[in-house]
Chain A
Amino acid sequence: MQRLLNFLYEYRAFFTFLLLEFLSAWMLVLNNDFQSTAYFNTANGLTANIIGFSQKASAYFSLGDVNTELSRENAQLKTALELQRQQSRNPFTSQDTVIRYEFTSAKVINSSVAQFKNFITINRGIDAGIEPGMAAISTFGAVGKVKAVSEHFAVLISILNIDEQVSSVLKRTGSIGTVQWDGTDPRTVNLLYIPRHVVPQAGDTVATSGYNAVFPDGVLIGIVKDVKLREEAPFYDIKVELAQDFTRLSYLKIVKSRLKQELDSLEVVTKGKEP
């Protein structure tokens, strides 16, 4: 026993090193797939305030960009409104459709595109009814999903995060694939698992499929930029140019799916009955 203690004492630096590294690695793994009310991230009140402080200075320089973006968004909303007005005059449109999604507007107070795992912090939290797992979209396309919330802030996993996968559909052919970022270019993502028999073309639209009830279906993700088919590969290598420029994210909407719980529990019940 004495010798064991002596041994531990002799190499205490090395053992402390191992302990601390183990602790870090454990946090790293836990952080990768953890959705909760987390404290040690940028949703934390103190952290968010410090970030907001430095953001104010840099936000001043991007005012022009934000303005352009907002006026573009305004124009799109007006078009959508007009479309809806015309539809409501149509006597064949049903008036008792279930409202499936609610939207909450939020301002981006922190975002990055240069890391492999990018996150976005917004200024809405539990008090605005935001929960982990909700989708975030902008006027131009899908942005990400909520990872952690605090009282007044929330952290989103950006689509520009190598861990994030979004079930999506090639609009023209109707084939289902998965959008995932490879960590390199913040303007393009990869569309995976599109089988050989499909013929995708540059210029095709890629949108969310709505299969996992996080994103509503039909939210634009981007436009196919480049299609390659390696010999003997079962799937295409497809590069998709993102509809939303993530370097200029300023405002976005959090989507609250009213039917998510119903859908999830129905799926659980159905799966439970399978033999």
Chain B
Amino acid sequence: MNRSAIFIVISFVVYLLAQVMLFRQLVLFNTAFCFLYVAFVLMLPIETNNLALMLIAFVLGFLVDVFYDSLGLHAMSLVLIAYLRNYWLVTITPQGGYDAGEGPTLAANGLQWFLVYTLPLLFIHHFVLFFTEAGGFRVFWFTMSKVMSSLLFTLFVVLFLQYFSFDRRR
């Protein structure tokens, strides 16, 4: 096992524990959730294999589900994101390609690219998650407000962490 693999395993545990112990209890105005664990899948190295990505996502989603008493819900949304992630990364490759050995981070590719990368994927994740949980579109606008406020909250925390690690690296 090389260093980066160990780092990935550790950050898996950290993301999971942060999600179930801290962010699970942190719901703002009864509508804004922070699903930080999605960022773990988004931040895995660019060259990660699609299959491995989906399997990791499934396990992570499943474990989150156990704590939310919502078996299958987070796993389903996260596997979808893991499936879409690599296709989306190819689509938005910057000019000159990605730097070898760099993750899809803000530090490596800049804020604009990072927003283009994370916003749509986070939106799809939250959209699928909340509308599946609501069991359809009966309370559409309320559910939509949950999607949007959670998107803002999650994005805020993700960006905060990106800048935090950005400073440390320099």
Contacts and interface: CB of A to CB of B under 8 A. Distances in A.
Interface of A: 12-14, 16-17, 20-21, 23-31, 40-42, 44, 47, 50-51, 53-54, 58, 112-117, 119, 121, 155, 162, 182-184, 186
Contact of B134 (A16, A25, A112, A116): A116
B89 to A, nearest CB: 14
14 contacts: A12-B51, A16-B54, A16-B55, A17-B83, A24-B75, A27-B71, A28-B76, A40-B65, A41-B66, A41-B69, A54-B21, A54-B22, A112-B27, A114-B33
B70 A31 contact: yes
A30 B73 CA distance: 12
A31 B71 CA distance: 6
B107 interface: no
Contacts of A20: 54-55, 58, 75, 79
Contacts of B21: 50-51, 53-54
Nearest to B145: A184
Given A27-B75, A116-B133, A42 B67 contact: yes
B134 A162 contact: yes
Contacts of A25: 72, 76
B93 interface: no
Interface of B: 17, 20-22, 25, 27, 30-31, 33, 50-51, 54-55, 58, 61-62, 65-73, 75-76, 79-80, 83, 130, 132-135, 138-139, 142-143
B54 A116 contact: no
Given A20-B58, A117-B70, A162-B135, A58 B25 contact: yes
Contacts of B51: 12-13, 16
Majority SS at the chain B contact face: helix
A12 B83 CA distance: 12
Contacts of A14: 83
B30 A113 contact: yes
Contact of B69 (A27, A114, A119, A184): A119
Given A42-B69, A115-B133, 15 more contacts: A12-B51, A17-B79, A24-B61, A24-B73, A27-B72, A30-B71, A50-B21, A114-B33, A115-B68, A117-B69, A155-B69, A162-B134, A182-B138, A183-B139, A184-B139
B31 A114 contact: yes
Given A16-B51, A183-B134, A42 B66 contact: yes
A29 B74 CA distance: 13
Given A50-B21, A51-B67, A54-B21, A28 B50 contact: no
